[in-house]
Amino acid sequence: MSRVILLNLLRFIALVFIQVFLLKNISLYGLSTPYLYILFILLLPFETPNLLLFPLAFILGLTIDAFYDTPGLHAMACVLLAFVRVLFISITVQKEGFDNEPEPTFSLMGFRWFFTYTLILTLFHHFFLFILEVFRFTEIQYTLARALLSSIFTIFLILISGLLFYKNKERK
Query: Is residue 132 predicted with pLDDT exceeding 50?
Result: yes
pLDDT of 23-80, one tens digit each?
888 888 878 899 999 999 999 988 889 999 999 999 999 999 999 998 999 999 999 9
Q: How far is residue 59 CA from its own chain's centroid?
A: 14
Calculate the alpha carbon distances from 136 to 48, 78, 139 in Å.
36, 21, 6
Task: State the pLDDT at residue 67.
Answer: 94
Q: Which residues contact 33 (CB under 8 A, 6 or more apart)?
A: 23, 26, 27, 146, 150, 153
Q: Name the pLDDT band for 99 (thresholds 50, 70, 90).
A: low
Q: How far apart are CA 89 and CA 46, in angstroms?
A: 8
Q: Are 47 and 164 in contact (CB under 8 A)?
A: no
Alpha-carbon span 33 to 94, nearest angstrom: 34
Per-residue pLDDT at 96: 59
Percent of the chain with pLDDT over 90: 56
pLDDT digits (tens, 9 = 90+) for 144-171: 999 999 999 999 999 998 888 766 554 4
Quote the CA–CA distance of 23 and 170 in Å, as a whole number. 34
* Residue 21 burial (10 A CB sphere; 0-12, 13-18, 19+): exposed
Residue scoring higher pLDDT (168 or 124): 124
8-state DSSP, 96: G
